[in-house]
Amino acid sequence: MSKLKKTLLAIIVLVIIVYLALPYYVKHAIIHQYPGIEDYKIFHNRVVEAGTYIPWEKDSAYNTMMINQATMDKIESYDPVALLVIQDQKILYEQYWEGYSDSSLSNSFSAAKSIVGLLIGAAIDDGAIKSVDQKVADFLPSFKEGGKEQITIKNLLTMSSGLDWDEAYASLFSPTTAAYYTNDLRKLVNDLKMTEEPGRRYYYRSIDSEVLAMVVQAATGKTISEYTSEKYWKNMGARHDALWCLDHENGMEKAYCCFNSNARDFARWGQLMLNNGKWGDKQLISETYMAETVSPVTYLTDDNGLHVDYYGYQWWIINYKGYKIPYMRGILGQYVFAIPGKNAVVVRLGHKRSDELIGPNRKDMYAYLDAAFQILN
C-alpha cells in the first residue's frame, strides 16, 4: 500500500473515531444540519388529537383583495409556504407556495412556546398549579437545590429564570442545538445550573419553555400533547391532528418548539387570543390569565438595559400602526398575529425570516402585517 493511501486511510479511521465519540446530539446535528419546517419527519412524534371539526367560513370577499406588488415581493423573498388572513372569524385571504396547502404540516418552531404558556393557564384553572408564583421545585426535584429553588413559574413564563443558557442557533455545541437533537431532554433540564438571580433580567431561553412543559406534565399527570388536545385542540375544532416532536420514542415533547400543524389550524390560537380565551360559549382559559399573557413585563430589563415592553407570558407583543398586536413567533418566520383592533388573525409559515432586527422585531414581520392591513376591512 502506498504512503498516500495509508495516510488517507488513517485520516478516514481518525474521522470515524472522532465522529463516534461525539455526543448523540452533535452527530445528529451534523447529519441534519440546519432545522427545517418538515423536521417532524426525522423525529419521533406524539399526536395532538383533534375532535369535532369546526370549519372556518369563507368571507364573501374571499381572495378578491390584492396585496400590492412591492409588499408581495418582500413576502416572497423570505420563501413563504402559507399566508392566511382571517377577519370576523372568516377567511378573507389565503395563499400557498411550493405545493403546500391548507392541510400541509409545518413546524411551529418557537411559536410553540406560546402554546406552552397557555397550558400553564389551563393547569391553574384546573387547580393543578396554585398560581404563577408557585415554585418550580414543587414539581421538579432537580430544582430543589443550586439556587434553582428560587425559580417560580412566572420567572419561566417571562424568560427571567436566571438559568445558565446560551440561545445560539448556529453553534454546533450550543445547548440550544443540544436541546433540538438530544434524545434526553430531562437530563438536559436536570443538569441546568444558575447564572443569576431569577426575576431580574429578561433573557430569551428556549429551555425556560421546556421546563414549563415539564411542570405541566408533573402537575397534571398528562403529556403536554394530551393536555393540549383536551384543553384546546379539540375544543377549538381543529380539522387535523397535530404532531409534537419528541426527544425519543414515547419521550418528552420538544415543548419549546416543534408543534406541527397547518395555517388554518394554527390560526385558532390567534382566534383564541382575540376571544380572550373563549371558544364558542366555552371559556377555555380564564380571561384574567389571557390578559396577563399579553401584558408587557416592563419591570424586567433586557441586555440593552431597556424595559421589556415586547414580551408577556411566552407571547410577543408589537405595537404597529396604532394597534397592539400579540403574536407567536418561530425561528424561520412562523407567525400567528392576533389583531384585536381589526378582529383579525394573520398566519405566515415559511422557510426563513429576516436576519435584521428593528428593535426586538424581525424586519420581515412588517411585510406580513402590511399585507394584512392592505387586505383587512
Residue whose C-alpha cell reads 479511521 in the numeric block = 13
Could you state, in order of their start, the residue ranges of all structural domains in the chain?
A: 3-32, 39-375
Distance CA 338, CA 317 (A): 10
Query: Does position 287 have pLDDT exceeding 60, yes or no?
Result: yes
**Type and span of the H or E element at 373:** helix 364-375
CATH numeric code, 39-375: 3.40.710.10
What is the pLDDT at residue 26?
52
pLDDT tens digit sequence for 74-107: 999 999 999 999 999 999 999 999 999 999 999 9
What sign for the dihedral angle of Cα 263, 264, 266, 272?
positive
What is the pLDDT at residue 238?
99
Q: 3-class secondary structure for 278-320? A: EECCEECCCHHHHHHHCCCCCCCECCCCCECCCECCCCEEEEE
35-48 mean pLDDT: 97
Query: Does position 194 have pLDDT exceeding 50, yes or no?
Result: yes
Nearest residue to 223 via CA among 133, 119, 141: 119
In terms of DSSP H, where are the helices of 136-274?
A: 153-157, 175-181, 185-190, 206-220, 224-228, 263-274
pLDDT tens digit sequence for 24-38: 545 444 544 668 999
Residue 9: pLDDT band by 50, 70, 90 thresholds?
A: low
What is the pLDDT at residue 174?
78
pLDDT tens digit sequence for 214-259: 999 999 999 999 999 999 999 999 999 999 999 999 999 999 999 9
Residue 177: pLDDT band by 50, 70, 90 thresholds?
A: confident
What is the pLDDT at residue 243?
99
**Type and span of the H or E element at 106:** strand 106-107
Query: Does position 326 have pLDDT exceeding 50, yes or no?
Result: yes
**Type and span of the H or E element at 31:** helix 24-32
Residue 117: pLDDT band by 50, 70, 90 thresholds?
A: very high
